[in-house]
Structure 1
Amino acid sequence: MKKDKKPLRNIPQIGKLLEDPFFMEIQKDFSREEVLFGIKNSIEEIKSKEIGEMDKESLKERILKETLNFLKYPFRKVINATGILIHTNLGRAPLIKTEKEIIENYSNLEIQLKDGKRGERNSLAEKILNYLTNSESSIVLNNNAGAVLLLLSTFAKGGEVIISRGELVEIGGSFRLPEILKESGCVMVEVGTTNKTKISDYERAINEKTKAILKVHQSNYRIVGYTEAPSVEEICQLAHKRKIPFFVDQGNGLLFEIEGFSLKEEEPILNLVKKGVDVITFSGDKLLGGPQAGIAVGKKDYIDKMIKNPLYRALRPGKETFFYLQETLKYWLKKDFKKIPLWKLAMEDISKLKKRAKKIQKESNLDLKVEEDISQFGGGTTPTYNLPSVSLKLEAKNPEKVFRFFLEKDPPIITYIKENYINFNLRSIFEEEDKIIIKRLKELKENENL
C-alpha cells in the first residue's frame, strides 16, 4: 500500500492546538494572536512538504517546533561560518555597530539645519563621497542595479549603448545586465568577442544613434588566457573625441587602495575618476563595507540630470541607508578600516585566527581538526583573490543532520559541509561569537542522537 506523503488527515484542529497545554505554555511569552499566526504558518509549511506519514502526536510536536521558529520572526541575526565575507544570502556586508538614536527618531533627512528650509537627502553623503573619490558630484540610490538603470534611462533612452561581449554579466539572483539595459529603454550594441575586444571594435560601432559607451566590471568571473581589452584611458579618449559619454559600472566600492591588500583586479573608484570617466556606479557594501546601496560618482552635469529624472524618486534610499553609509565613509576618511566590520574580518591576523581556533577546540572538548584554509570577499568581487584563513572541521556520521542542528539554534550558525566534515571558517566569524560556537559544540556533544 502506498504511503500518504501528505498526512493532512492527522493534522490536529487549530482550536484544539491553541488549548493544548504546550501551546498554552508558549502563550505566556507570546499573545494568542501571535501563536495562532505561528500555528497557521506551520501547518501550511507542513502541507507544502512531503514529510511522510506521521501520527497526531508527532505532528503536534512538529507544529510546536515550527510555531516556535515562526514566533522568533523571520529576520534574525546569524553567525557566518562560511568564510564568505560579503555573503548575499546572509545580508551582504555586516554593518557598523553604532548608536541608532538617529535612525530610531526624527532626523534631518531633508531639512537644512542652517535655515530650516527643505533640503535634499542626497546632500548627506555627497560631500564626503566627492572628497574621497575626487569627483565633482555623487548620488546615492537603493542598489547598484538601480544606479545603472537610472544612469542609462537618463542618458541613453531611445538610443544605443555600446558594450563589450565579454562584459555581459549575470550575477546572483539571475541579475542580467542586458535586461537592465532593456528596461532602461536603450538598445544594446555588442562589440568584440567573448575573449577579445579592441578599441577599433568600439569605434566601428559608433553612429548617430549612439548615446553612450558602457564598460562593466566582470564581477564574479574572469576570462584568462588569449584575451585582449582596451584600457579605460583608450575608451575614454575615443568617447570624448566623438562627444559620447563614457560610463563604468564598477560594481565594487573600493574607493582607493588599502595598504596590505593587493586587489589588482579591482580598480579603485578614485583612479577611474582621475582617468576621466564621466560616471562610475558601484555598490555601497561590496568592498566599501557599508549598507546595500547604489552609488554614482562623476561629473556634475551628469549627476544633476540623474537627480532630475523622475525615476530617481523611486530608486532613492531611506534614512537607514544614509546613516550607515555616512558612518562607514567616516572611517574611510580616517583610514581606520578596522572599525568597519567587513575590513575588521579581512584584516584579522592569521596567527590570531589560529589561536582562536585552538581555544575553541580545547574548550569544546570535541575531536575538532584545526586546518589552514582560504576565505573570499564574495558578493561578486575579487573571485581570484583568496584571504588566508583557519577552519575548524568536525567529522560527522550524518553531516546534514548536524548542519541542521546548528541552523536551528538561536542565533543560527551557518556552517558548510565538505567531505563529511562540518566546517567553521573563522575568517567570517567575529571573535565575540566564539563563545556561542563553543556552547553549541558542547550541546552537540551531549546530544546522543547526533
Structure 2
Amino acid sequence: MQQMKLIPKVDRVLEWEGVRALALRYPRALLLKTIRAVLDRLREDARHSSLAPEVFAEASIVSLVGRELADLSAPSLRRVINCTGVVVHTNLGRSLLPQSAKKALETMAFSYSNLEYDLKAGSRGSRHSHIEALLCELTGAEGALVVNNNAAAVLLALSALAAGREAVVSRGELVEIGGSFRIPDVMRLSGVTLKEVGTTNRTHPRDYLNAVTPETALFLKIHCSNFAVIGFTAEVEAAELVRLGNEAGVPVMADMGSGNLADLSALLPQAEPTVQQFVAAGVDVITFSGDKLLGGPQAGIVVGKKPLVDAMKKHPLMRALRPDKLTLAALEATLALYRDERQALIEVPTLRMLTAPFEELAARAKSMVRQLRRRLPDGIALSFQEGSSQAGGGALPLLELPTLLIEVRVPGLSPNDIEARLRNGQVAVLGRISKGAFLIDPRTVQDTDVADLAAALSALLENPHQG
C-alpha cells in the first residue's frame, strides 16, 4: 500500500517537463491513453511485488511513457533484414522488386494515370490492356490477365470455366499450402465438383480418360508447391495431359504456382519448367504467381487460349479480384526485364540470389565479415561454416543451394538469446539457428543492409545478460 502512494496522478505527470516535450510530438489523446496505461501497470506490479523506489521516479515514468508512445506510433509493417537464406520468404514479403519497379511505383502512386482510359481513342479503356500484350509476347500465349494473387487466379478460372461441372485432378496433386489454402476447398467454393483419379504417388493417362463423363469440364494439373513425392511415383506431364484432353475434348488447366519465366536449368541443380514450356505444350489455361520465381509484386497471372481468358475477364468475380494500379505498374516493370533473359538474371533480385554460385557467396561472406569487424566492438566473434540456402515460397522444395554461413557468437548470450534480441531490435534482423549456432546467410543480405546489420550486432553487447 505504501508503494501505491508513490504513483503520481495523471494531471501531475502531464506537468512534467519531459511529458510536455512529448506533448509537442504526439496527439493529446494518445499521450493520455499511454500515461494511464503506464500508471495502471505500475499499480498492478506494486500490488504483487515490492518495486525499487527509482521505478516511481519522474525520469523512469517519462522514459516508460516515451518508449510506449514510440512503439504505438511506429508503423506495424517494418523493414526486416533477411539473414535466413530463404530467398522467396513468404513471411517476409516474398520477392524483392527490381530497381526498375521503383520509378514506376513512384510515378503511379503520386499521379493520375490511364489505368482505365484509352489515350489514343479518348474513351474508357481496360486495365488488362497494360499487361496483356507483354505477357503474350513473353509466354507465347493468346490471351492474359492479372488478378491479386494466384489463389484468386485459380478461383476465377474454375468459376468461369467449370462451375456446376467436374474437374479431374490427380490425388497426388490435391495440395494444401500456406494459410490452409486447399485445392479441394477452392474447387468447392468455385462451384466445381472434384473428381479424384490415380493414387497419392502414381497417376496414369488411363486414369484421366476413364474419369471423363458428359459433366467433365477440365483436366486440372496442380503444382505441388512446398512438398515433393519421391520414390515409386508416376505423373502425367503437361504435354501428355494436353494430348489426353484433345482426345477426350476436355480443356486442360494448369496451376504452376511459382510461375517461372526464365530457363534456370543450366544455373540450378534442380529447375522448374517455364510458363513458356506449358504454353508450347498446348495447355489451355495456366495460372501462376507474380511474386515467387517471377520476382515481381503479389499478383496472380493467367495466360492461355484467348476465348477462355476472355470468359474470365467477363466473370463477375473479376471486379472483386482485379489488381490495383501499383501492382500493375510494378509487374509491368518487372516483366519488361524478361525481354532480355540475361538482363533479368542480373536485375531481378530473386533470380540473382537464387543463381548466385558458392564462390560468389563465399567472397561475399568474407567481404561482409571484414566490413562488420571494422564496425563491431570487441567481444562479438564471427566465423564461417558451409551450409545451404532454400528457394522458399513453395518453389523447388528439394533444392539446396550451397552457401558460406557466418556464425555469430556473443559472450553471455545463447543462440536463442541472439535470435530474440536481433529480432526485436530497432531494425529487425532474422537469421537462423542450426546445430546450436546462430547463423547469417549472405545469400539474402543486401548491400544496403550491412551498416544496419552491424548496428544491430553491436547492440547485442548492451546489457548482454538480458535474454
2:166–2:215 contact (8 Å) kept in structure 1: yes
Is 1:142 matched with 2:142?
no
State the match for 1:373 in structure 2: 387
Distance 1:353 1:207, change over 3 A: same
Is 1:384 matched with 2:395?
no
State the match for 1:341 in structure 2: 349
State the match for 1:95 in structure 2: 97
Is 1:320 matched with 2:316?
no
- The equivalent position to 2:423 in structure 1, one of 390, 400, 407, is 407
2:131–2:332 contact (8 Å) kept in structure 1: yes
Find the residue that maps to 1:333 and give its secondary structure. Answer: coil
Deviation at 1:64, TM superposition (A): 4.7
1:357–1:391 contact (8 Å) kept in structure 2: no
Corresponding letter in the other structure for 2:363: K
Of 372-381 and 350-359, more deviation after overlay is shown by 350-359
State the match for 2:3 in structure 1: none
- The equivalent position to 1:123 in structure 2, one of 123, 129, 154, is 129
Deviation at 1:39, TM superposition (A): 6.9
- The equivalent position to 1:256 in structure 2, one of 257, 262, 271, is 262
- The equivalent position to 1:358 in structure 2, one of 363, 369, 372, is 369
Mapped to 1, the partners of 2:431 and 2:388 lie a distance apart of: 15
Mapped to 2, the partners of 1:325 and 1:391 lie a distance apart of: 32
Q: Spell out, residue by residue over 1:374-399, the C-alpha distance to the aligned partner (whole angstroms, 9 max, x if none).
A: 11120000111122222221235333
Deviation at 1:31, TM superposition (A): 3.1
Q: Spell out, residue by residue over 1:125-153, the C-alpha distance to the aligned partner (whole angstroms, 9 max, x if none).
A: 11111011000010000000000000000
Deviation at 1:114, TM superposition (A): 1.3
Deviation at 1:341, TM superposition (A): 2.1
Q: Spell out, residue by residue over 1:238-285, the C-alpha distance to the aligned partner (whole angstroms, 9 max, x if none).
A: 112211110000001211304742364511000000000000000001
2:170–2:203 contact (8 Å) kept in structure 1: yes
State the match for 1:266 in structure 2: 272
Find the residue that maps to 2:221 and give its secondary structure. Answer: strand
Find the residue that maps to 1:389 and give its secondary structure. Answer: strand
2:139–2:275 contact (8 Å) kept in structure 1: yes
Q: Spell out, residue by residue over 1:146-186, the C-alpha distance to the aligned partner (whole angstroms, 9 max, x if none).
A: 00000000111111111001001111111111111110001
State the match for 1:5 in structure 2: none
Corresponding letter in the other structure for 1:178: P
- The equivalent position to 2:199 in structure 1, one of 190, 193, 198, is 193
1:125–1:322 contact (8 Å) kept in structure 2: yes
**TM-score for the superposition, normalised by structure 2:** 0.86
Distance 1:43 1:384, change over 3 A: farther
1:12–1:60 contact (8 Å) kept in structure 2: no
2:415–2:437 contact (8 Å) kept in structure 1: yes
Find the residue that maps to 1:215 and give its secondary structure. Answer: strand
Mapped to 2, the partners of 1:14 and 1:122 lie a distance apart of: 57
State the match for 1:78 in structure 2: 80
Deviation at 1:44, TM superposition (A): 11
2:209–2:248 contact (8 Å) kept in structure 1: no
Mapped to 2, the partners of 1:88 and 1:324 lie a distance apart of: 18
User: Superposition RMSD on alpha carbons, in Å?
Assistant: 3.0
Give structure 2 stretches of 5+ with no counterpart: 1-5, 43-47
Q: Percent identity?
A: 35
Mapped to 1, the partners of 2:324 and 2:160 lie a distance apart of: 22
Corresponding letter in the other structure for 1:176: R
Matches of residues 144-183 of structure 1 in structure 2 within 5 Å? 144-183=150-189
Give structure 1 stretches of 5+ with no counterpart: 1-9, 47-51
Of 383-392 and 13-22, more deviation after overlay is shown by 13-22
Say how many residue pairs are matched: 439
Deviation at 1:53, TM superposition (A): 6.4
**TM-score for the superposition, normalised by structure 1:** 0.89
1:199–1:230 contact (8 Å) kept in structure 2: yes
Mapped to 1, the partners of 2:226 and 2:33 lie a distance apart of: 40
